[in-house]
């Protein structure tokens, strides 16, 4: 009886140790998965930010051309528009 009780205690201790290791492994997997999700979210946010900045710059260049046309009171030639676009883009790149 004592031997069965000792064996039972060993089995329970082993089961607890195995459960503890499994829990640690699952915790590590969960942390790794969370880190990957966070990394992907950060990369997606950075890409979206770059896309929005590029779109904003295009819109500013377009508005500069429209405003210049309205202020000057004449239709700009394609060369005028190109020059204004380049100057606006250059100015936006330095700010």
Domain extents for the chain? 2-94
Predicted local confidence at residue 88, as pLDDT: 81
74-94 burial: b if 16+ Cβ within 10 Å, else e: eeeeeeebeebeeebeeeeee
Residue 74 scores a pLDDT above 80: no
pLDDT greater at residue 33 or residue 91: 33
pTM, two decimal places: 0.61
Residue 89 scores a pLDDT above 90: no
4-58, pLDDT tens digit by residue?
Answer: 888 999 999 999 999 999 999 999 999 999 999 999 999 999 999 999 999 998 8
Length of the chain: 95
Which are the contacts of 69, defined by CB distance < 8 A and separation ≥ 6? 75, 76
- Specify whether the CB–CB gap between 89 and 64 falls below 8 A: no
């Amino acid at each position: 009886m004592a031997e069965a009780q000792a064996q039972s205690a060993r089995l329970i201790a082993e089961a607890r140790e195995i459960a503890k290791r499994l829990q640690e492994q699952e915790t590590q997997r969960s942390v790794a998965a969370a880190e990957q999700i966070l990394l992907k979210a950060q990369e997606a946010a950075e890409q979206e930010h770059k896309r929005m900045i590029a779109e904003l710059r295009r819109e500013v260049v377009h508005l500069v051309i429209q405003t210049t046309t309205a202020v000057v009171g004449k239709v700009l030639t394609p060369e005028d528009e190109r020059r204004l676009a380049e100057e606006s883009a250059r100015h936006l790149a330095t700010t």
